[in-house]
Structures are given as structure tokens and as C-alpha cells.
């Protein structure tokens, strides 16, 4: 009996592990985002119970899918102290490519279209990356220019043409309709993207190099990190994910044309920043960016559910962006003071 009592009591090792786990949880950059998301859902459900109806939950997942994929790629670029403002135009080009391919070849395998969209997105991302790394011009300026270049190409290509749901195979449209365990297929694709990108950033040398470059580019060069190749790879991956998002956009929405994806780039940057990715680079995570994307799309859905004017929806998102930047800066200043104090001891 005494042996059973002894084994039931928590050991010092268990207590230490629990303390470390609690401390890690407390310092998670994503924790405030998750807490805000939970509070938002609970409050909205209390006001409008239909918000969490089966169809309501499905719509929440579908609405966040495209934004999550784009936020993951954008986070990788921002972590390197860069930004890509052209992703909305890349989404538009790849979405129209998808409609064009299916319109001319109705029996084309979906996998082929997915690969085509990803390759086009990757090529456009490489174009951005080469301009940024070789020309030495700030990414904000470069990608603002390519935003209009890519959009102009899409306008010239599409003209007044639009492709609608009837122009695509039923199986392709079903990616946004059919579910697995209640989760839409395209949402499962987004979850897979987050998991893979999260593992790459946290567990691989190239991923850790991106953080080093964002923290201090000059120091990263001194340590032998191939900064040009790493930054270029971040832009390429970001373009590939934008290409994937463009293809899935064509499955999710009823029509694609010259204006598809217009204005989405600022929402994606906002999602990454709100999710804890430092706008000055070097910190944050793709998982946090994904949570930020879910939070922003849920805010829009929640405010619509309680019938708040669209203007106030945009104002609230703006407040969130400012709050995220200010909080991130305050945390960075506190950490700097702590490091200086420890160095003086």
C-alpha cells in the first residue's frame, strides 16, 4: 500500500517538467492570438448561436484557408527583414491560369493544374527574389513595383474574360465542398502547409538561417550563412505558396478574372504581424502567422454575424495591426534591457 502511495505522488522531476512546460506556454508568442481567438468565438456565439452551426464552422475554415497559406509564405519572407507586396497579383495570375487550363482541357488532371500553378508562382517569386538580392533595393519597393507589373500582365491576359464555376470540372470544385471528418479538403491542404513549413523553420538549418539573417544580416554573413541564397529561397517558397493559393482560390470561389486577388496583400501582411511575426524580422513563426490569419478572418465573420458595419471591420483590423507592432516593439525593448542587465553582472 505504501508503495502505491509513493508512486502516485508527483516526483521532483515531474514538477520540474511541469514548471518548464508552463513557462514555455507562458512565453509563447502565439498565446495572445489564441486567447483572443477563443474569446472572440465565445462572445460571438453568445450573441449569435448560429455562428457555430455546422455550416458556420465550415465557412470559418473555408474563409481562412487561402489566407493561412499566404500568411505562411509571407511570414518566411518577413522573418528575413523583407516583405512581398505582390502576392495578391500572383494569386490572380495563377487563379486565371487555372481557369484557362480547365477551360481548354476539361479532362486535365487536378494534380497537373496544381503543379502548374505552383511553378508559375515559384517563377514569379524567384523574379522578386532576384531583384531584391541582386539589385540591393528594399523589398518593399521592388514588390510594390512587381505588384503592378504582375497585375498588368493579368489584365492584359484576361481582359474582360472571366471563368466561372461551370467552366471547371466538378471534382475540382469539390475540393472546397467535400470534407474529411468535417474538415474541407482545401483546409486540410492548408494545415499540411503549416505543419511542413513549421517543421522546416524550426528543425532545419535553412529555416534557422532565415531567423539569423533577419536578426542581423551582417553577422549572418560573417558566420558563413549564404544570405543571398536563403533570402532568394524564401521568396521562391512564398511565390510557390501564393501559386498554390491561387489554384485553390479558383476552386473556392465562383469566378476568377483580371481583378482576382486585388488588395489581399495587405491582409496577409496584417495576418503575419498580428500572429507575432516581427515586422523588423528575426522572430515569430509560421504557425503564429497561421493563427493570425485565422483570427483576422474570424473577426470579419464575427462582426458580420453581429451585423457590424464593414467600415468598422477594417478599423478593428487596423487597430490590431498597430497593437501587434507596438507590443512586439515593447517586448523587444524589454528583452534588450534584460540582456544588458545580465551582461553587466
Q: Rounded to an integer, what distance in angstroms lies between the CA atom of residue 267 and that of residue 288?
A: 15
- How many other C-beta atoms can be found within 10 angstroms of the C-beta atom of residue 292? 31
- pTM value is 0.88
Does the pLDDT value for residue 2 go beyond 70? no
Does the pLDDT value for residue 316 go beyond 90? no
Asked if 256 contacts 161 with a C-beta cutoff of 8 angstroms, the reply is no
DSSP line for 231-248: HHHHHHHHHHHHHHHHHH
DSSP E strand boundaries for the chain? 163-164, 179-180, 183-184, 255-256
Asked if 62 contacts 186 with a C-beta cutoff of 8 angstroms, the reply is yes
Q: Rounded to an integer, what distance in angstroms lies between the CA atom of residue 167 and that of residue 108?
A: 13
Overall fold of domain 29-344: ABC transporter involved in vitamin B12 uptake, BtuC (1.10.3470)
Q: What is the pLDDT of residues 211-266, one digit of tens each?
A: 999 999 999 999 999 999 999 999 999 999 999 999 999 999 989 999 999 989 98
Q: Report residue 179: phi and psi, to 5°.
A: -125, 160
Asked if 146 contacts 86 with a C-beta cutoff of 8 angstroms, the reply is yes
131: closest CA among 118, 152, 121, 145?
145
What is residue 4's predicted lDDT score, i.e. its pLDDT? 46
Which helix (H) or strand (E) is 76 found in, with range? Answer: helix 54-79
| 68-77, 151-160, 295-304: least confident range | 295-304
How does DSSP classify residue 49? G
Amino acid at each position: 500500500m505504501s508503495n502505491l502511495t509513493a508512486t502516485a505522488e508527483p516526483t521532483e522531476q515531474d514538477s520540474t517538467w511541469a514548471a518548464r512546460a508552463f513557462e514555455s506556454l507562458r512565453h509563447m508568442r502565439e498565446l495572445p492570438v489564441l486567447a483572443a481567438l477563443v474569446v472572440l468565438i465565445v462572445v460571438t456565439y453568445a450573441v449569435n448561436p448560429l455562428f457555430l452551426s455546422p455550416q458556420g464552422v465550415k465557412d470559418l475554415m473555408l474563409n481562412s484557408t487561402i489566407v493561412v497559406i499566404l500568411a505562411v509564405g509571407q511570414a518566411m519572407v518577413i522573418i528575413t527583414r523583407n516583405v512581398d507586396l505582390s502576392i495578391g497579383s500572383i494569386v490572380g495570375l495563377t487563379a486565371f491560369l487555372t481557369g484557362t487550363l480547365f477551360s481548354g482541357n476539361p479532362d486535365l488532371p487536378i494534380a497537373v493544374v496544381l503543379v502548374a500553378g505552383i511553378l508559375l508562382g515559384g517563377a514569379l517569386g524567384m523574379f522578386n527574389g532576384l531583384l531584391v538580392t541582386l539589385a540591393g533595393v528594399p523589398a518593399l519597393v521592388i514588390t510594390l513595383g512587381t505588384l503592378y507589373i504582375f497585375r498588368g500582365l493579368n489584365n492584359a491576359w484576361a481582359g474582360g474574360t472571366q471563368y466561372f464555376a461551370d467552366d471547371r470540372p466538378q471534382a475540382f470544385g469539390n475540393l472546397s465542398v467535400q470534407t474529411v471528418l468535417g474538415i474541407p479538403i482545401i483546409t486540410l491542404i492548408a494545415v499540411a502547409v503549416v505543419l511542413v513549413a513549421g517543421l522546416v523553420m524550426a528543425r532545419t538549418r535553412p529555416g534557422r538561417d532565415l531567423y539569423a539573417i533577419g536578426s542581423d544580416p551582417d553577422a549572418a554573413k560573417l558566420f558563413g550563412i549564404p544570405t543571398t541564397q536563403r533570402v532568394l529561397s524564401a521568396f521562391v517558397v512564398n511565390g510557390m505558396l501564393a501559386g498554390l493559393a491561387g489554384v485553390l482560390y479558383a476552386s473556392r470561389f465562383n469566378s476568377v478574372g483580371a481583378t482576382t486577388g486585388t488588395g489581399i496583400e495587405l491582409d496577409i501582411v496584417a495576418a503575419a504581424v498580428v500572429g507575432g511575426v516581427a515586422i523588423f524580422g528575426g522572430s515569430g513563426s509560421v504557425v503564429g502567422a497561421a493563427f493570425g490569419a485565422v483570427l483576422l478572418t474570424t473577426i470579419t465573420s464575427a462582426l458580420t454575424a453581429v451585423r457590424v458595419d464593414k467600415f468598422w471591420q477594417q478599423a478593428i483590423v487596423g487597430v490590431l495591426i498597430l497593437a501587434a507592432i507596438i507590443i512586439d516593439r515593447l517586448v523587444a525593448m524589454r528583452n534588450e534591457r534584460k540582456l544588458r542587465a545580465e551582461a553587466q553582472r
